[in-house]
Amino acid sequence: MSKMQTYKHWRIESSVDEILWVYFDKQNASANTIDKEVMEEFSLIIDVLSGDKNHKGAIIASGKKNGFIAGADIAQFSKFKDIDEAVSLLREGQAIFSKLEALRMPVVAMIEGFCVGGGLELALACHYRVAEDGPKTRLGLPEVNLGVHPGWGGTVRLPRLIGAPEAMNLILSGHTVTGKVAAKLGFVDAAVPKRHLVTAAKYYVLQHPKRHEATLLQNLTNAKGVRTVLAQYFRHTLRKKVSPLHYPSRFDVVANWERFGVRGEEPFEKEARSCGKLFFSDTAENLVRIFYLQERLKGLAKDTQFSPQHIHVIGAGTMGGDIAAWCAFQGFQVTLQDREAKMLAPAIKRAYKLCKDKLKEPYLIQKVMDRLTPDVEGYGMSRADVIIEAIYEDLTAKQELFKKAESLAKPEAILATNTSSIPLDEINTVLKNPGRLVGIHFFNPVAKMQLVEVVQGSRTDPSVANKAISFVRKLDKLPLPVKSSPGFLVNRILMPYLLEAVHLLDQGIPMTAIDKAMLEFGMPMGPITLADTVGLDICLSVAKHLQQYFPGTEIPQKLVTLVEQGKLGRKTGEGFYRYKKDGTQIKPSNVDYAKPLQDISERLVTCMLNEAFACLHEGVVTDADLIDAGMIFGTGFAPFRGGPMHYAKTLGIKENVEVPAI
């Protein structure tokens, strides 16, 4: 038996049934990520396996409690000197995985928890994969979310294993799937409950059954002529969602596959080269930056000890009802209060719909629904750890409510308002302890929008704000700490942009051109459609509210007129656009617009940038990065551009600039 060497990040053990257990246990890290050193050691380990004659096979598993492998270490992305260095490192990684794949002894990847990116690529190079069948196990290749694509053979091995359509779907979407779905797709041999995981892994080592192969039909999808046809289709579907100019990596995956297929050495070489190049693209740099921004928001108030159990939400309208549903969905006991039972019923219905969309199993749906208690009498107020007010925007009503809440609530409970416009310092004047009030401002639709503004009034106790931030994290949302100033951050910056878009409309520029201009800029939705979606009545009331504080705010007549006519947007079937019953927009006949669309987008974005600068100067948030985070996660501001402030920086803009004319 070869001498067992010791490693920094790996551990090899031999079990009595003659199996080598290779544990990945990255030093000084809570989760396993792959970097250069890890790979070098792994290469040595494969050499050990290759020379081993005393064992029947090997099982690669994680030495961590949480997850298998979280992918490549993103920090190393920025350390590459140039494209050549990146490519050569990718080649080395590919070579190590190929060596793994070529081992004569059967190697099984035993996957529990996340197995994504480079982690899945490693697993794909093993001969068998078994995965735990549980909610925490997720497998996928999410590299495209960072503007690159898999670079250690993932784009080659996955389509080879399960056929192009399913493989491309997974790679191009960047989605992760459960062990069960992975097994159904064929890239995991067995998905079993934890109690059978080791037994299953050993089974594949000891019995080494025939390895999984693509079906005849799946193989056919990788054949030369078929690739040409399918690639057309993949590109067609991709273009509906993203532009190749903004997000090239997805299109590179399709192009490489189309030209070089999944056999031989060449597709690997092309994968390494195109991935290496992508590391140095603006899109990848910006998306990596956003990844870190997201990590920063996730890490806020990390040391705050706050474990709320019971959330009481007052106001069962769209926001309150959906906040309550989301809290219940995230595992909290929730009471939802409104004046009458019939006002609560629609919120229960929406909560059920949320559960049905998100959870397949009826027993899981029931669990969530049982946690959500309609509470006309407001009994929950005295039991809750967090009380969230989401009633109509009226100062006196809110004051009355919080006075009552303060008298009933547990002393350590935090009082939160979801107001989007009323300053906290006006609400908290009625409180004995004004420091207890914090803003927790959700965006509509609650289930979809990642960002939540945590609003601090001048008297808000910092420890209360930290508790609110920690609570928002427990809701799996991204907290953005903002100062209580009119419109907070996101609405404040968004509104001049929306209003200006309507002004352009008043000036005779077709709305299709305005929306198209911003889509081409990279926004997820054009501003006119966005206004319709938010609701024109809401837009108008936010605009009027901001006008009180920023007298320069001009409200376009068109907006006022439509609201007067009851045309409030998507929800009433007509706003600027008209909508079908199911909410889909009826495309208006195309109006010609000869001038460059870039003029429109430049003008609108400048409005946004100027407001962003103003927010920075007023200290609405502490730094420019938080503005970028807020606008990207709160409004979907073109992520590949890195956020408004970063975008301004790339344009060389440092201060307020004149809005360019059209």
Partner 1 sequence: METNQTKRDVYIVDGTRTPFLKAKGKPGPFSASDLAINAGRELLGRQRFSPQDLHEVVIGCVMPSPDEANIARVIALRLGCGKSVPAFTVQRNCASGMQALDSAFKDIADGKHELVLAGGTEAMSRAPLLFNQGMVNWLAGLSSAKGLPAKLKQWATFRPGFLAPVISLLRGLNDPIVNLSMGQTAENLAYKFGITREEMDVYSLESHRRLAAAQDNHYFPELLPTYDYYGNCFEADDGVRRDSSLEKLAALKPIFDKKFGSVTAGNSSQVSDGAALLILASKDAVKKYKLPVIARIVDTEWAGVDPAEMGLGPVYSTTKLMQRCNLTREDIDYWEINEAFAAQVLACLSAWEDESYCKQFLGLNKAFGRIDPSRLNVEGGAVALGHPVGASGARIVLTLVQILKRKQANRGVATICIGGGQGGAMLIENVSEVIA
**Residues that are catalytic:** 420, 441, 453, 491
Q: Interacting stretch for partner 1, rule CB under 8 A, among 104-112, 159-167, 264-272, 363-371?
A: 363-371
Determine, following the binding rule CB under 8 A, whether residue 346 of this chain makes contact with partner 1: yes
Rounded-to-integer distance, Cα 63 and Cα 531, Å: 50
Contact between 364 and partner 1 by CB under 8 A: the answer reads no
Q: Closest CB to partner 1 among 137 and 373?
A: 373
Touching partner 1, residues 53-82 (CB under 8 A) = none
Tokens of 340: 């009458």
Which segment (238-246, 336-344, 390-398, 644-652) binds partner 1 by CB under 8 A? Answer: 336-344
Among 4, 245, 345, 364, binds partner 1 (CB under 8 A): 345
* Separation between Cα atoms, residue 438 and residue 459, nearest integer Å: 9
Sign of CA dihedral 536, 541, 546, 552: positive
Q: Which residue, 505, 455, 513, is CA-closest to 480?
A: 455
Contact residue for partner 1 among 33, 373, 512, 610 (CB under 8 A)? 373
DSSP string, 562-626: HHHTT--BGGGTBSSSEE-TTSPEEPPPPPP--S-HHHHHHHHHHHHHHHHHHHHHHTSSSSHHH
The Cα 575–Cα 565 span in angstroms is 9
* 344 touches partner 1 (CB under 8 A): yes
Q: Least distance to partner 1 from the beta carbon of 388, Å?
A: 17
Query: Which of 361, 377, 564, 582 is close enough to bind partner 1 by CB under 8 A?
Result: 377
CB half-sphere exposure, 343, CA atoms < 13 A: 16
Asked if 553 contacts 547 with a C-beta cutoff of 8 angstroms, the reply is: yes
Sort 236 into a burial class: Cβ within 10 Å, 0-12 / 13-18 / 19+. exposed
Give, in order, the Cα–Cα distances in Å from 572 to each of 64, 227, 377, 578.
52, 45, 32, 9
Q: How far is the CB of 365 from partner 1 (least distance, A)?
A: 9
Interface residue with partner 1, options 80, 352, 550, 593 (CB under 8 A): 352
333 binds partner 1 (CB under 8 A): yes
Find where tokens 């999984």 sit.
212
For residue 562, which amino acid is it? L
Stretch that binds partner 1, among 164-172, 192-200, 249-257, 343-351 (CB under 8 A): 343-351
Whole-number Å distance between alpha carbons of 237 and 105: 41
Shortest distance (Å) from residue 311 CB to partner 1: 13
Asked if 322 interacts with partner 1 (CB under 8 A), we say no
- Find the binder of partner 1 among 95, 376, 525, 659 (CB under 8 A): 376
- The 3 state secondary structure assigned to 38-103 is HHHHHHHHHHHHHHCCCCCEEEEEECCCCCCECCECHHHHHHCCCHHHHHHHHHHHHHHHHHHHCC
Residues 603, 661 contacting (CB under 8 angstroms): yes
Among 180, 208, 383, 558, binds partner 1 (CB under 8 A): 383
Applying CB under 8 A, among 12, 86, 148, 369 the residue interacting with partner 1 is: 369
Stretch in the footprint of partner 1 (CB under 8 A) among 192-200, 334-342, 558-566, 651-659: 334-342
Q: Which is nearer to partner 1, 349 or 403 (CB)?
A: 349
The reply to whether 341 sits near partner 1 by the rule CB under 8 A is yes
Q: Which one among 5, 30, 366, 433 touches partner 1, defined by CB under 8 A?
A: 366
Six-digit token string for 175: 């989605």
> Which range touches partner 1 (CB under 8 A), out of 338-346, 467-475, 480-488, 508-516?
338-346
Chain positions contacting partner 1, by CB under 8 A: 333, 335, 341-342, 344-346, 348-349, 352, 366, 369-371, 373-377, 379-380, 383
